[in-house]
Every structure is written in structure tokens, then in C-alpha cells.
Structure 1
Amino acid sequence: MLGTVASLASRQVRRRAHFFRIMLITSLTCALFILLVENLKVTPPMEILTEVMFGLANGFVSILLTIGLLPVFESLFGITTDITLLELSDLNHPLLKRLAVEAPGTYQHSIIVGNLTEAAAESIRANSLLARVGAYYHDIGKMEIPEYFVENQLSVKSKHESLTPSMSSLILSSHVKRGRQLGEASDIPDDVLNFVEEHHGTMVQSYFFDKALKQGEEPSNIDKYRYPGPRPQTRETGIAMLADAVEAASRTLDHPSPARIDSLIQRIINDRFQSGELNQCPLTLRDLAKIKKAFAKVLIATFHHRVEYPQKLTDDEVQ
């Protein structure tokens, strides 16, 4: 019974301080249960008091042991708790601080992608905390060579202009593998590192593939220009794939009106859906409709000072 009460009380644990609330609930429940049972048995008052004290102590000790052993259980069974995710969401985490310094454009991109994924995950009742944290870390592999990624390029001339398309493709793909390595070195859990590996799926880097075709590359070599994958396996990583593409594409909108934003989001969702990139994650068409709506709301709020709304027609214009 005590275990059931503790389980129910711990469903929304988001901070270590919440353990003390669980401690109080379980201790009082245990004490009340003992008091009820012993009264029915007509146990002497002093014996009841002793057992009640042991019951209270049992609740306190159990929770203290849980707090101390939680990291061990997480590591042993490969479980990522909300507490760990909240710790990883701290923007002062060493990896995120390093990303902010070495690749500021990527950092800002990741924060916005985090907002998009969180809102979309909430709209379909997915794990919004995991979605946001995964988005924060999805591009950490870019920070060692940030100048090769467009969001960090300060000059008009791109570093890729002097490279072959195949080399450019390798550099872009490398951030996936390198991100996984950096994450593992910092003990980032697999549930978060899956966002690093899956946020591009097996998409073709169309810009460099088209450039290669113009230079005589055989169309059959298209796989050379694909990201290594795998494709998204969960709803959360599927959302992150869409959010990543939507945020990047939204930067190209000169006049981001609500209609243009809505059209852009729909086009990207259609592209990922039709290319089969979402085939391995359990997102439904209904989910995608809700995700689109959530994305639009966030982006319109992000561009609120730039968004162009249709002007209200005057009476003369109507006539």
C-alpha cells in the first residue's frame, strides 16, 4: 500500500524538493494506516505510538534512500527521469554554455527549436520536457567547426564555396556523429542523444546534391548526400525534425506574414511526410495538424514585430 501511495504521489516530480512532499505524504499515510489497524486489534496505546513512530521513520528513510540511489538506478536501468531532464535544461550546463560561446547562431537556433518542440509536444500530449531538452542539444556537434554552418557565418562568402559538394556534405553530416560523441563524453543520456542522431533522419542534402549533379555527379550516387540517420523513432524526435527544419526555413522569410508562415510549415511537414522520414515514429495525421498549429503560434509570436498582417480595406477600396 505504501508503495502505491508513493508511486501516485511521485507522478509529477519535477524537482528534488518534490521528494519532501512525497516523504510527508507517505509517512503520514503509513502512520494513519498503522493507527487504524492497531486500533482495530485493540493494541496498547504505547505499542501503537511506537509503531506509528516507526511508520513515520519508514517514509522518511525510504525517500532519502530514493534520492541517494536515483542516479544509480537511472544508470543501471537506462532510465531518464524528469529531474535529470530539468538539470540538463539548465542553460548553464557546460555543453550549452560552450555552444553559446563557440556557435552563437546554432545556440539561438536550438533555443527556438526547443520552444517549438515543447509547444508541439504539449499539443499532442507527448513528453514536452524531453522534447525541449533534446532540442537544446540536437546540434551540439556543430560547435567545433561552427563557421561551416550557415547560422554562424558572419561573412557573405561561404566556407563551402571552395569545397567540393561531396566534402561539404561530409562536413554537414559530421555534426551528427560528433554530437553523439560529445554528448556521451558529458554523460548525456541516450534519450536526449537520440535527438542528435535522428533530427535529420536520412534526408538528402539537396543543395549540395543539386550542385554535384551540375558538376557531373551521377544521380545514382544520391546516398552519398544523405544524413546517416536513423529516422525519428519517437514522437518527440519526429517533432524535433520538423521544428529544426521549420525554424531554419523561417529565417529566409523576408516578410513573415501569418499566411506565409503557415504555408512554410505545411510545406515542410508535407515534404518530410512524403519522403518517408516520419514512417518509423508514431505521429498520426491528427498529430501533424496539431503540430502545425503549435508551430505557427510560436513563430508568429517570435516574429511579432515583423509580421505583416493584411491591411483592413477602406470603404472606397471595397466599392
Structure 2
Amino acid sequence: MNFFNTYNNSTNSAGFILLGFPCSREIQILLFILFFIIYILTLLGNSSIICAVFWDQHLHNPMYILLANFSFLEIWYVTSTVPNMLVNFLSRTKTISFSGCFLQFYFFFSLGTTECFFLAVMAYDRYLAICQPLHYPTIMTRHLCTCLVVNCWVFGFLWFLVPIIFISQLSFCGSKVIDHFLCDPGPLLALTCTRAPLIEFTWTILSSLLLFIPFTYIMGTYALVLRAVLRVPSAVGRNKAFSTCGSHLAVVSLFYGSVMVMYVKPTSSHEAGTQKTVTLFYSVVTPFLNPLIYSLRNKKMKDALKKFLYAKN
């Protein structure tokens, strides 16, 4: 079975039309400029965190190594959608090939899945650091940290592999217009020649498991962290613990809050406007805000970024 190049009929070879954000040509150009700036700032922000972590010896510990890997993930996550969106703003045909659509589909959801796993691993790291500080160096070793990072990537790219393969084998009829700015399962399944309730149900189950299991784990972990922090007698110690955990919780809230709106219900049940708005938030806005959240709320990260920037000037 060929993964992304199996064309079920001659119409599939024509690809799809990504409608994007229908508006006047002038507004399209303004949107292009806006999202181009956001994209560049996202790349710069996340790249700065990666460089600061690897440049500053004080940040060579699991917490910041995970953060650097997370920033690397965010770079590719936003790159899976925004460049094509920018081309779409300037294009008059707004077409995307069948293979290009499913490649975007696969990488976007694989990277998003990897992000869910990374957020859970980062919560586990904070739990160990705060609730078991004496055992932290012996538990969270460099070897374990590396294994966790590798597993996040491997399971992230395997989670939706089979459903995406099956969706790519379906026949697509009609106008081939996807009322979205990316290839999403809801609009794609709506274009199939026949309904695929089993695939849609499977996708919903996998999405729900992916979201609720890590999210429940993160919330349970932070409940234990909160209990441990409240027992700290020093106000300075409590503030330091809240500072390191607050950044991660803010990112978790932004990401999971928006994603759960989309994928805990059947994928074809949302209106196009809701799909675009919510998807735009967790796929573009959240990766843009993450570097700001981590750098502004973390004193070590702010100091490392200052040293790195001053050293380059």
C-alpha cells in the first residue's frame, strides 16, 4: 500500500482547493503580512530559547533540555501550516496537490501529538524536581531524559499513522473545495464520496485518548506539585516553584483548551468558521506565545537570553 501517492480515481490527482480566508485581495495581502511577521517572530523566539539553553552551561539540566526540544518541535509545528497558508494568501487558484495535502495532514497531526506527549513529560519532570528533589538527579538522568524525548517523537509520529493512511485511500467527489486553511480531517471526510463512520469514530477515539489521558495526567501531577509547594515554609521557595510551574501550566492551558474544542467531538460536526478560528489559535498563536511565556516567567531563562543576545552583539 503506497502511503500518500495512492490515487483512488482520476479526480484525486487534481488535488484540492484550500479556501483559506475568503476576502478581498487587499485583505489577503494584509493577512499575508500579519502572519508572515508572526511566523518570523515565532521562529526567532523559539530559536533563541534553543540557542540560550545550549549556550548557557547553567541550563544544561533536564528541565531546560526538554524546553529546548519543545521549542524545536514548535518550529516544525508552525512550519507545517504557515508557509502553505502564506502561499495561499497570494495564490489565485489556492490549490494543493493530493499528496501535498496528506503530507501536511500527517505532519501537522504527528507534530501536534508529539506536543501532547512533550507537555506530559515536562509535567513529570517538574513533579520529580519539586516533590522528590533529593532523588531528582538519580531518577531524571540524561539517559532517561533522552529516552523520554525519543519516545515522544516516535509515538507522536505513529499515533495517527493508520487512520491517515485509511483516509488517504478514500475516494473524494464534488468540488474538492476544503473550507479551511489546512488539510483537516473534518473537511476532508466531508468531501468523501461515501460516509466513513468507522474511520470518523476511530479518529474521535484516538483524539480523545490523546487529549484526555495526558491532560488528566498533567492535572494530577500538578495537584501533587501544588500540595508540595504549599508545604514549603519559605515564601521565596514557593514563589520560585510557582514561577517554574506557572509557565508550563499556561502553555498547557492554551494548547489543550483550544484543541479540546476541536477534537473531542466528531470531526465533521464543526462549522467552518469555528474550525478555522480554533485551529488558528493552537497551530499559530500558541507557538508564537510560548517563547514569551517561558522567557518572561522564568528568571534563569531571561538571564540566559540576555547573556546570549549581548554575547552576539
TM-score normalized by the length of structure 1? 0.27
Bigger share in helix:
2
Higher relative contact order (CA 8 A, sep 6+): 2
Q: Which entry has the higher C-alpha Rg, 1 or 2?
A: 1
TM-score if structure 2 supplies the norm length?
0.27
